[in-house]
Amino acid sequence: MSPLRHSTNIAARMGRWSAGHRKTAIFGWLAFVIAAFAIGMAVGTRTVDDADMNVGEARKGDHIIRDGGFRLDEQGEIVLVQSHRHTIHDAAFRAVVNDAVATLDRFPQVTRLRSPLAADNQGQISKDGHSALIQFSPKGSYDEAAAYIDTITAAVDDVSEAHPGFYVGEAGSASTGKALDELFKSQLARAGLLSIPLTLGILLLVFGSLVGASIPLLLGLTSVLATMGLLALPSHFVPMDENVSAVVLLIGLAVGVDYSLFYIRRERDERRSGRSESAALEAAAATSGRAVLISGVTVMIAMAGMFFSGDKTFMSFAIATMMVVAVAMLGSLTVLPAMLSWLGDRIEKVRVPLLWRLRRNDEARFWGAILDRVLRRPLVSAVAATAVLLALAYPAIGLHTSISGLDALPRSLKEMQSYNKVNDAFPGGATPAIVAIAGDASDPELQAAIAELRRQALASGAGLGPIDVETAPGGKAVQVQIPLAEKGTDGSSNDALATLRDEVVPATLGNVPHIEYAVTGETASSKDWNDAMKSAVPIVFGFVLAFAFVLLLVSFRSVVIPAKAIVMNLLSVAAAYGIVVAVFQWGWGENLLDFNSNGGVAAWLPMFLFVILFGLSMDYHVFILSRVREYYDRGLSTENAVARGIKSTAGVVTSAAAVMMLVFGVFALMPIVDMKEFGIGLSAAILIDATIVRAVLLPATMKLLGKWNWYLPTWLEWLPNLEHERSPEPVPQQA
């Protein structure tokens, strides 16, 4: 009987059950995936309401607008007429404007049509007179407007063709939003289609056979599919962000492939060392299965930290990522052993001859050469690696966050070109501050206060003007749109917002009884989000670090291992932040990646990037250290255990990192700059973590610390012993 028969190792017991009940495990997994997807289709996924997207005063303003009778989802469109030669005073310019207005007026779906030639043309003519805006509101919600907006856009394009000397272009929430949605969906499909063959290519290099390469990919894809369906259930309690599907695909494919890769490679290594099929599988379950379990729980704990942010977007991301990691982990510990037990050595069938020969040239030889040099000069290696990480992290000192608006669209998009022209001709007009007022709009005192608000906003320099005032149907609310300086999310705009909120608005509206007011808009949303995140970050970071420390403390019975892991992971995250800031905030990648730099990174990214990277970094850390500890417990010195442990895991860690980098890197092709930042940040961090940190800094510090790596104070000896069990030495396989 195998010594593992009476194991208390949960992963080993799950693997043993799976191998002994292959049909139940395999068909049970397929039934679970199909049922989960069917449930999702039947229940439907609820998304975050627009009025609850923001936080703080901006959220209060959104609710005033919605509750006062305004449609929060009301669509707004603009048609820009522009000429470098003519101005609004020229007959030719006015003829183009009249033609465009007449064209729009023929559509019954066009409401609240405003011409820059009308008497109340506030804000519709640029200061130099070379640009004019035609404004209108398409009927219905976004989905309703998106169904017909192309017809209106085509008519505007006809006007443009009829007047070749003028620029006539349309942009807005419906036309630009639809173009973005179509581009996003096509790029998401493209990202998925690209990531699958790229991942398969890496796995073919790892296994050299089509059968072996297909299993991790199938596990990852089925995990994603099942999670997509299951998300419908919690979405009715915590609404999901609209980008959650992209995040599930990103994380699910990466961890699903990685977990199964760790498991299969260990099983194959044990098999090549001479174990029987059943013994090799049992050893893999007891070692790599345990590492997968610890890694998965660590990632889930890291994701759970986002619940402390109090933000619905973060909470939806937390639920989605925790679920996809849990599903991938469950699949790795249940259906994967059943598949390996069923296939046995047939997992190496359908070999690709060239790749099979390449696979035989162990990549550990390359990392072994590096590791030997690192262990010969551990102090120099540790100092050099730390210096590189700190240099990469340096730009993160100036990290600034902002909420992405239309500036998140690629510059090559036609509707984005119109948006940029509008922003250039009408500074601040595309991202105005909105003063939302709940009260009787006919009240003379309120009307006088609004007039004074407009005057003081212009006099203070906070508002650029012209200022637009709009009364809600029923007269129970008013919104005052005040254009702000610059891009809307930079320092100048935030200073102007502060002047409005702290001085102008209280001095004017604050004296009117029986009203309620708040300042919202893109700048206010970004500012309030940043403030909320600054207060939440210490709590989230503290929760993640504390629980990760405890988990690693119990897993490895050492206080040094978790402390060192936390420091290394923080260095990796800081380096990733630095790269994201340099590329996106400083604008180093603007032309290459086709985006508009707004002087900041996505407001949700730093916290989300931290929890994702911290969790995923533990995959490699736990996997490597589990093997190191295994050799150390067999009697090897720390230096020899480190050398053998890292050399024996170098190939699979490199392969896992390559898979993650490819999956994440594909998302740099997405049209939304937030997704580009996410993809670049994760890819860079995984590369840094798998090379500088795991191949240099980790072994160097372990060599320097020696036996202190495994130090556990006597007052912690009561901790449960969850270390791996020693599996029996391999025995020659019978011919």
pLDDT (tens digit per residue) in 291-325: 888 888 888 888 888 888 877 888 888 999 999 99
Residue 220 near residue 257 (C-beta atoms within 8 A): yes
Residues in a beta bridge with 479: 436, 470
Question: Which band of pLDDT confidence, cut at 50, 70 and 90, is reported for residue 730?
Answer: very low
Check pLDDT > 50 for residue 727: no
- Token readout for 345 is 């050595």
- Token readout for 300 is 């889930």
Residue 135 burial (CB count, 10 A):
19
Segment among 12-21, 167-176, 428-437, 559-568 with least mean pLDDT: 428-437
Check pLDDT > 60 for residue 723: no
| Per-residue pLDDT, 293 | 86
Residue 689 near residue 592 (C-beta atoms within 8 A): no
Residue 309 near residue 538 (C-beta atoms within 8 A): no
Strands (E), 483-557: 516-521
Check pLDDT > 90 for residue 328: yes
Give exposure, 579-613, as e/b (b: 16+ Cβ within 10 Å).
bbbbbbbeeebeeebbbbbbbbbbbbbbbbbbbbb
- Token readout for 219 is 């596990």
CA 564, 568, 574: angle at the middle one, nearest 5? 145
- Give me the mean pLDDT over the 442-453 stretch: 91
| Per-residue pLDDT, 49 | 65
Residue range 419-527, CATH number: 3.30.70.1150
- Token readout for 312 is 């619905």
To which H or E segment does residue 257 belong?
A: helix 244-272
Residue 260 near residue 716 (C-beta atoms within 8 A): no
List C-alpha distances in Å: 348 to 204, 208, 361, 667. Answer: 11, 8, 16, 31
- Give me the mean pLDDT over the 102-122 stretch: 87
Residues in a beta bridge with 603: none
| Per-residue pLDDT, 733 | 38
| Per-residue pLDDT, 3 | 42
| Per-residue pLDDT, 245 | 83
CA-based nearest residue to 609, from 73, 247, 104: 247
Percent of the chain with pLDDT over 70: 89
- Give me the mean pLDDT over the 160-184 stretch: 85
**156-165, 629-638, 674-683 — most confident range:** 156-165
CATH topology for 11-43+174-360 is Multidrug efflux transporter AcrB transmembrane fold (1.20.1640)
| Per-residue pLDDT, 726 | 47
Of 368 and 220, the structure prediction assigns the larger pLDDT to 220
Give exposure, 383-404, as e/b (b: 16+ Cβ within 10 Å).
ebbbebbeebbebbeebbbbbb
Residue 644 CB partners (closer than 8 Å, separation 6+): 627, 628, 631, 636
List C-alpha distances in Å: 278 to 275, 342, 361, 630. Answer: 8, 11, 26, 20
Segment among 246-260, 384-398, 574-588 with least mean pLDDT: 246-260
List C-alpha distances in Å: 300 to 275, 309, 392, 432. Answer: 34, 16, 28, 40
- Give me the mean pLDDT over the 17-45 stretch: 91
List C-alpha distances in Å: 457 to 98, 434, 451, 678. Answer: 33, 12, 10, 38
Query: What is residue 608's three-state secondary structure?
Result: helix
Residues in a beta bridge with 481: 434, 468
Sign of CA dihedral 76, 79, 82, 86: negative
| Per-residue pLDDT, 149 | 92
Question: Which band of pLDDT confidence, cut at 50, 70 and 90, is reported for residue 511?
Answer: confident
Question: Helix 56-67 and helix 522-556: axis angle, to 10°?
Answer: 130
Rg of the Cα atoms in the chain: 30
Question: Which band of pLDDT confidence, cut at 50, 70 and 90, is reported for residue 362?
Answer: low
Query: What pTM did the predictor assign?
Result: 0.77
Query: From CA 95, how far away is CA 92, in angstroms rounded?
Result: 5
Question: Which band of pLDDT confidence, cut at 50, 70 and 90, is reported for residue 364?
Answer: low
Residue range 362-396+544-712, CATH number: 1.20.1640.10
Sign of CA dihedral 31, 36, 37, 42: positive
Locate CATH 1.20.1640.10 in the chain: 11-43+174-360, 362-396+544-712
Kindly state the DSSP code that residue 690 receives in the 8-state scheme. I
Average pLDDT over all residues of the chain = 83
List C-alpha distances in Å: 118 to 79, 94, 112, 428. Answer: 15, 11, 13, 22
Sign of CA dihedral 66, 71, 72, 76: negative
Which of 3.10.20.740, 3.40.228.10, 3.30.70.1320, 3.30.465.10 would CATH assign to domain 77-173? 3.30.70.1320
Residues in a beta bridge with 440: none
Query: From CA 475, how far away is CA 453, in angstroms rounded?
Result: 19
The number of residues in the chain equals 735
- Give me the mean pLDDT over the 706-727 stretch: 74
Locate CATH 3.30.70.1150 in the chain: 419-527
Residue 14 near residue 285 (C-beta atoms within 8 A): yes
Check pLDDT > 70 for residue 406: no
CA-based nearest residue to 458, from 483, 487, 439, 441: 483
Check pLDDT > 60 for residue 540: yes
Segment among 159-168, 670-679, 714-723 with least mean pLDDT: 714-723
Kindly state the DSSP code that residue 305 receives in the 8-state scheme. G
Locate CATH 3.30.70.1320 in the chain: 77-173
| Per-residue pLDDT, 292 | 86
Q: Amino acid identity, residue 22?
A: R
Check pLDDT > 50 for residue 6: no
Percent of the chain with pLDDT over 90: 24
Residue indicated by tokens 């391999």: 730
